[in-house]
Every structure is written in C-alpha cells, then in structure tokens.
Amino acid sequence: MTAYDALAEVYEWLISDAKLAPAEFAASFDDALRLLPPGAHVLDCSCGTGQLAVGLAGLGMQVVATDASEAMVRRTAKLSEEFGAAVRTLRAGWEELPGHFDDSTFDMVFCVGNSLHHAAGAKGRVAALESMARLLRPGGHLVLTSRTWELVRARGSRLDIGDRLVRRNGRAAVVVYRWEIAPTWAEEHHIEIAIAQVDAAGPVLVRSELLSCWPYRYEELEAELRRVGLRTELSTFDPEAENYTVVASKV
C-alpha cells in the first residue's frame, strides 16, 4: 500500500482544472508530441488518475499507463473505460518496469506532475531514470515535469492553505499542504496533504496523507539524465518559475 493509494479516491481535488480534461492535459505537451510518429508507442510511468494517458490515446497513440499505486492504476483503467480509450494499465514502480517491458519499447516516456521527487534520493532517482531510459528506443524521448525545488526549499517549512474552495463531483473542498523541509537537500522531506470536503448540510470529510519526497536541484537532474544516456533537448527551467518541463532524448 502506497500513500497514493489513500489519496487516489480524492485525487481530483488535487489536480488543476487544466489537467481534468484528458484532451487538454495531452495538449499541454504539444511541443513534445510533435516529435512523435503517428501511432507512436508511449508510456506514462506515473499515471495517477489517468487523464494524460487517456488524452494521449485520444490522439491515436498506443498507450501504456503504469503507477506504483494499485488504486491509481484502477482509476486510470476506469477513466479509460469511460472514454472508450484503449490504454493498457499495469501496477509497477519505476524500478520494476524493465521486468515488464523489453528495452527500446517506447517512442516517448512521460513522468509528469511532480512524481520523480518520490524516488528515494539520488540513488533511487538515477535507478528510476535508468529504467525509463532503457525502455526508450534510441532517439526516443523522456518528458519530465518538476517543481522548482530551489524555490520550494528557499521558502522553508510552511503551511499552504488553499484560499478558494475546489469543486469536483458536486462537492467543495479546502486543500492544505504542509511542507516539511529538511535541513539538507539529501534528506527525506515531507509534504502532508489534507483535503477537507465541506458541505453546510453534512459532516466535514477529511482525508490526509504524509508523502515522502527527495528534492533535487536542476543541475543535478541534468547530470543524472546524462548519466543514464539521455540528452536534454528542451528545457523550460527558470529559477524564478514554480515548475519546469524537460524533454530529453536517448542518445
């Protein structure tokens, strides 16, 4: 059981409006998708509730969606069914992927939405990136999105309390993030997420979960990508911006 198994049921309150519609989520990667041949084989290796995988299938791609959380994989399978999308789903952590797929199977691998920081430290991260790189065909591309941890760490431990209600499935919720920033980069950090569904006519339903994460600097990530045989071809990294995207190709 992973921490995300408990969050899966309420995950829509955590994703932005822009990521809710599968077609819109996929379209946000238009620049990377232009690099693909028609009917390309793609893997979303931290698929969460499946919006990206379903959106990619809607564009005619052959999509496999994997995640370490069984509950997340079930949600992806359910969303695919609802959209009539042919997405193959499988529960697998990053390091388990080479046991399920031959090397060079995919044209593109996605690891998006603040997932990679869940890999345990530099060693875990390199092992995860190595798995992703192995599954890419030569010339294939890894698409990665990340928080700018330089900014997150500079702010220190803190509470972020959503200043508006998030409405999903006819229910409103307040979302709280508690950031536990360790003294050094290499240590385990924590993000505690609480979703309080509020309704004047009924009880407040609270779900909270403590997630472990290991931050990394942008330069470390670049070096680690090179170490696993990936060359950065596009990067939106800006030390002042909250998030960035990296597209790296297999040499």
Ligand X SMILES: C[S@@+](CC[C@H](N)C(=O)[O-])C[C@H]1O[C@@H](n2cnc3c(N)ncnc32)[C@H](O)[C@@H]1O
Binding site for ligand X (CB under 6 A): 2, 4, 15, 19, 46, 48, 67-69, 72, 93-94, 112-115, 118
Distances in Å between the Cα of 172 and the Cα atoms of 10, 49, 159 are: 11, 19, 20
Cβ of residue 135: shortest distance to ligand X, in angstroms? Answer: 13
The one-letter code for the residue type at 241 is A
Residue 115 vs 249, nearer CB to ligand X: 115
List for the chain the helix, strand, coil content (%; round to 5).
Answer: 35, 35, 30
**Closest CB to ligand X among residues 122, 198:** 122
Distance in Å, CB of 202 to ligand X, minimum? 28
| Shortest Cβ 200–ligand X spacing (Å) | 30
> 206: which strand partners?
196
* Inter-helix orientation angle 70-83/51-58, to 10°: 30
Handedness of CA 237, 152, 225, 99 (dihedral sign): negative
Contact 48, 113 (CB under 8 A): yes
Least spacing, CB of residue 145 vs ligand X, in Å: 8
Spatial separation of the C-alpha atoms in residues 179 and 211, rounded to whole Å: 10
**Nearer of residues 68 and 129 to ligand X, judged by Cβ:** 68
Shortest Cβ contact with ligand X: which residue?
113
Query: Closer to ligand X at the Cβ: 190 or 198?
Result: 190
- 24 or 199: whose CB is closer to ligand X? 24
Give min distance, CB of 235 to ligand X, in A: 19
Check residue 126 and give left, alpha or beta (phi > 0: left; psi -120 to 50: alpha). Answer: alpha
- Alpha-carbon span 6 to 107, nearest angstrom: 32
Q: Which C-beta is closer to ligand X: that of 69 or that of 148?
A: 69
For the CB of residue 177, give the shortest distance to ligand X in the complex, in Å. Answer: 12
